[in-house]
Amino acid sequence: MQSQRVLAALAAFGAMILVAQAEQRRRANDVETRAPAVERPMVVAAGETRQPVSVQAAAPSVAVMPARIPQVPKVPAVVRGTPVAVQTPTQGGLRETDRLEITNAERISIKIQGQTELSGDYRINDDHTISVPVVGRVSVAGLDAAGLEKTLSERLSRLIGREAYVTVEVTEYRPVFISGYVSKPGTAPWKPGMTVLQAVTVSGGTFRGSDSTGVDGASTKLQRTVEDQKRVLATIARLSAEQQGRDKMEIPPRLIALVGRAEAETLIEAQLTSFLSRKSATEAQVSGLKRAVALAKQEIDSIAAQRARLTEQLKFRRAQLAQLKVLYDKQFLRLDRLTEEELKIAELEEKLASLGVSLSRTQGGLIGFERDLGNLSQDRRALIDTDLLKLERDAAQLEVEIEAAGPLPRKLAKPLSDADAAGAPKKDAVIYEIVRTEAGGPRTITVDRNTLVKPGDMVVVSLQ
């Protein structure tokens, strides 16, 4: 009786093991089923979007893998050959760097190669996280765009069992808030290189001012024109460098004459991030297309070699079938042996037809890659030429407005240098402060009008 109970217990334990193994195999099959299809790299010129095109083969062969797109390199502190100093305000010890964390953004765009259903815009939550389907909730605290790309790539690679390619771009930064002694308090969209004076100008300028520290009336309008001209000239410098394929940006002499060398260098420094990002993106697209072309050609060679081998086998089988038919006619061979040989010939013919379809698909993909590679540089140059033409027209119009303002408004709108501000008598002096939220809580910093602001800052304008 006791031995029967022991046998029953062992049987139950064995059944539990079999159920666990079956559940483990089912989960492994589910993971393989969710693995995404291989897609050709997405070639996106500025201002347009193209859907990725899959390259598949019906016969077992080497698949065309997508080209890996490298991450955007970190921005160096200087432009090679032309040192550019990062602006340091005179008060508060505030320093700005080019590295902006994802927490400074409100919305980001995530593109996952081969995973179109996961790609799209994502909003940054209040707890500094984003929620990506399948991947789950991901913390972006302390990460810039490159760091988030690395984090998402690693997590996706662990889930799908192969290397993943992720691109992260900021589509909308947190706005800047302007309050205090300004004409129109409110918010303004943040832009790279935005200064306190630019933020105040967007709000209509100071409500009232005197001497060279206040701008109103005609000088307020002129100041807005000057701010627009500074931005336009700095953007023209960046696009000209991209158009000519240079590795560094030159400071336009007109920009130096308009705002001085120090501020001109700061404006060019603000354009440096966009310059390097666009250059790196173009190089990545070219590299990806070249690799896709090489892999497609390798796939075509592999299919051609398989077809050659199958053709030789088919030729041999057909000769052998002819000999077997002679034996069959002389009744030296059974019918089933002749039928077996005919079935093998039919299988070889079917494989050859399948390889022909695969070859046609791969050749079509190769033609598309080569066409995109040839059009990439032309489309990029045409886009830059169009933007440059528009900006040059804007710069010419703004220059006419500046000259038409006359000498007195230009003098009132021109910011004081640090040396002049130290010795100039002040009456109703304007005080600029930035309220910035940091890890320890809000912090108030006294700054000057040329200080760079960050996304989410509150600029407070008051009178002494």
Out of 36-40, 87-91, 131-135, 386-390, give the one with best mean pLDDT: 386-390
Residue bearing the bigger pLDDT, 58 or 177: 177
Look at residue 90 and tell me whether its pLDDT is greater than 70: no
> What is the CB neighbour count within 10 angstroms for residue 356?
14
pLDDT at 118 (0 to 100): 81
pLDDT at 303 (0 to 100): 92
Q: How confident is the model at residue 418 (pLDDT cuts 50, 70, 90)?
A: very low
Residue bearing the bigger pLDDT, 322 or 95: 322
Rounded Cα distance, 302 and 91, in Å:
67
> What is the CB neighbour count within 10 angstroms for residue 189?
12
> What is the CB neighbour count within 10 angstroms for residue 121?
11
pLDDT at 1 (0 to 100): 52
Contact 219, 409 (CB under 8 A): yes
Look at residue 97 and tell me whether its pLDDT is greater than 80: no
Q: How confident is the model at residue 420 (pLDDT cuts 50, 70, 90)?
A: very low
Look at residue 359 and tell me whether its pLDDT is greater than 80: yes
Residue in the structure block whose two tokens are 């592999």: 302
Look at residue 274 and tell me whether its pLDDT is greater than 50: yes
Segment among 31-45, 358-372, 386-400, 403-417 with least mean pLDDT: 31-45
pTM here is 0.36
Look at residue 55 and tell me whether its pLDDT is greater than 50: no
pLDDT at 280 (0 to 100): 82
Average pLDDT over residues 112-125: 85
Look at residue 92 and tell me whether its pLDDT is greater than 60: no
Share of the chain above pLDDT 90, in %: 7
Look at residue 413 and tell me whether its pLDDT is greater than 60: no
pLDDT at 74 (0 to 100): 41
pLDDT at 300 (0 to 100): 92
Q: For residue range 61-78, what is the model confidence (pLDDT) as tens digits?
A: 333 344 343 443 443 333
Residues 6+ apart with CB under 8 A from 328: 334, 335, 338
Q: For residue range 304-357, what is the model confidence (pLDDT) as tens digits?
A: 999 899 999 988 988 888 888 888 888 888 888 889 888 989 998 899 899 889
Amino acid at 340: E
Q: For residue range 199-225, what is the model confidence (pLDDT) as tens digits?
A: 888 888 776 544 444 444 566 777 788
Rounded Cα distance, 405 and 399, in Å:
10
Segment among 23-27, 41-45, 288-292, 457-461 with least mean pLDDT: 41-45
Look at residue 6 and tell me whether its pLDDT is greater than 60: no
Rounded Cα distance, 350 and 115, in Å:
33
Q: What are phi and psi of 383, to 5 degrees?
A: -65, -45
Segment among 52-66, 90-104, 134-148 with least mean pLDDT: 52-66
Mean pLDDT score across all residues of the chain: 74
